Amino acid sequence: MIFFIDIRPDYVCCAKHLISIQPDFKEQKTAINEAVEAQGFLFELFPKYHCETNYIERYWGAAKRMARDQCDYSFKSLEKNVPKILDNISLSKIRKFTRKAWRYIEAYSKDCDGLNAERLVKKFKSHRRILTDD
């Protein structure tokens, strides 16, 4: 006996799937998205991917490192110092983080695996692009 399973993209298997394909549900923004945009800011969610392709991870790492250096392990001190620490990370350092993230993105877009991408990012020919094996 042979059974066939319907795997068409419009196949509705449950209520969750049925709701997720409705046009008004697809167009609805998240509550956080609406709150941020109501304040006049841009809202952008990064897709889930490796942290080396997202510069904000390097920014947070630098902030945590500075916080550990200035920490006396009290909540009041942390509460007072974190805004200063976040503001003290220079724009030039943030730009360096961004350039490095873009080099990783470029390496991965050339179908490199993790180790190969690391090699290409570390040994770049110029500040604008990664090393190529050409």
* Span 67-117, pLDDT tens digits: 999 888 899 988 899 999 999 999 999 999 999 888 888 888 887 887 888
* Span 27-41, pLDDT tens digits: 888 898 899 999 999
Report the first-to-last Cα separation within the chain, whole angstroms.
55
Across the chain, mean pLDDT equals: 80
Sign of CA dihedral 16, 18, 23, 24: negative
Q: Predicted confidence band at 4 (pLDDT cuts at 50, 70, 90)?
A: very low
Q: Which amino acid is at 85?
A: I
Task: Please name the residue that has the structure tokens 């394909």.
Answer: 21
Q: How many Å apart are CA 77 and CA 120, to the nearest integer? A: 41
